[in-house]
Amino acid sequence: MVVKVYGPAYASPKRVLLCLVEKEIDFETVPVDLIAGENLTPDYLQLQPFGSLPVIQDGDYTLFESRAIIRYYAEKYKTQGTDLLGKTLEDQGLVNQWLEVEAHNYHPPLLNLVLHIMFSPHFGIVRNEQVINESEEKLVKVLDVYEDRLSKSKYLAGDFFSLADLSHIPFTSYLVGPVGKEYMIKERKHVSAWWDDISSRPSWLKVLEICK
């Protein structure tokens, strides 16, 4: 059964697509237009009651929340494709630690930047320069922690690419692209090298090609 992934045009679903490509899992994509409100239709709300993206359908199994989905597939297909969890329990602990850091420290200020700079005209959000400045200050502090961490290991959880790194890619591509804040990455030597590495992985290039 081919996995269906809803909403491939957006960053959170791309997190799932990245994982599926790394794990060599077949999938198909189902477009969902947030701007047109397709995420609020009764049919979609049957799948995702909060109207967010993404959702996956895997046969009779439905799952939402992108980080839950990537954990699920990384574990279900642990011996297939790229090992994204680590070989030891200690490795897995670090992967989960940095995945939580991404979710709770890195993502919130970055999401504010994305919403206020990229999407404010589309979702009725009034661009707020104070929110933008405060979010950038918060993100700078997180990136300083990353710079220290990545001076000691190639990737966030150690010397292997994992879910912790993968989870950063789609939204960071907004940061260095349409958000216009590439300097936040480039001015940090180790963060910059890490980003150049993970953003040039064949899996991400394939996702970008699929989602053109």
0.85 cut: is pTM over it?
Answer: yes
Average pLDDT, the chain: 96
**Domains in the chain and their CATH numbers?**
3-81 (3.40.30.10), 89-201 (1.20.1050.10)
Sign of dihedral through CA atoms 34, 35, 36, 41? positive
Amino acid identity, residue 195? W
pLDDT of amino acid 158: 97
Q: How confident is the model at residue 121 (pLDDT cuts 50, 70, 90)?
A: confident
141-169 pLDDT, tens per residue? 999 999 999 999 999 999 999 999 999 99
Closest by CA to 105, choosing from 149, 71, 64, 74, is: 149
